[in-house]
Amino acid sequence: MKTFVIGISGVTNGGKTTLAKNLQKHLPNCSVISQDDFFKPKSEIEIDTNGFLQYDVLEALNMEKMMSAISCWMESPRHSLVSTHRGSSEEIPILIVEGFLLFNYNTRVYEPPDVPGYFDGHVWPMYLKHRQEVENITWEIVYLDGTKSEEDLFSQVYEDLIQELAKQKCLQVTT
């Protein structure tokens, strides 16, 4: 059975979850696995020298559990009939995996808000460090401009996905 897996990654609180949920609303047979659902308990999160809990590192996540969830989906994806370009029906499940360190392993609203200095002093530097690691990987990765509106980002990603699915002869493109 054909499957299509999409990864969305980026800085903490950068709109990954919002984009994934919007795509899920518009793509047939689409499931979402969010890395945010796999944080370890607070008692297991290390604290840095500034007193900040270290949520922006892989060690804060139960990646084995997340990979198990992805493997379970791959073994038995949720699906329904989708019309292909050939006019026949074919089952083509789509999985969106989203998270801030998605590609570093071989929109959250914070209540209460982050303490002053946390984003600039910890979240952003960790994002830049991890992004550099990802840039050294040879996968086909499309970088989005986070200054664009939520609607513009959705439109760009949705159109790219529809084109890619059409290339793979997975989905009939209708307008």
Structure tokens at 77: 């994806």
Point out the catalytic residue in the list 36, 37, 114, 120. Answer: 36
Rounded to 5 degrees, what are φ and ψ at 97?
-110, 125
Cα angle for residues 167, 171, 174 (degrees, 5° grid): 100
DSSP at 115: P
Residues recorded for the chain: 175
Q: What is the CA radius of gyration of the chain?
A: 18
Q: CA 23, 25, 26, 30 torsion: positive or negative?
A: positive
Active-site residue, 56 included: no
Residues labelled catalytic:
36
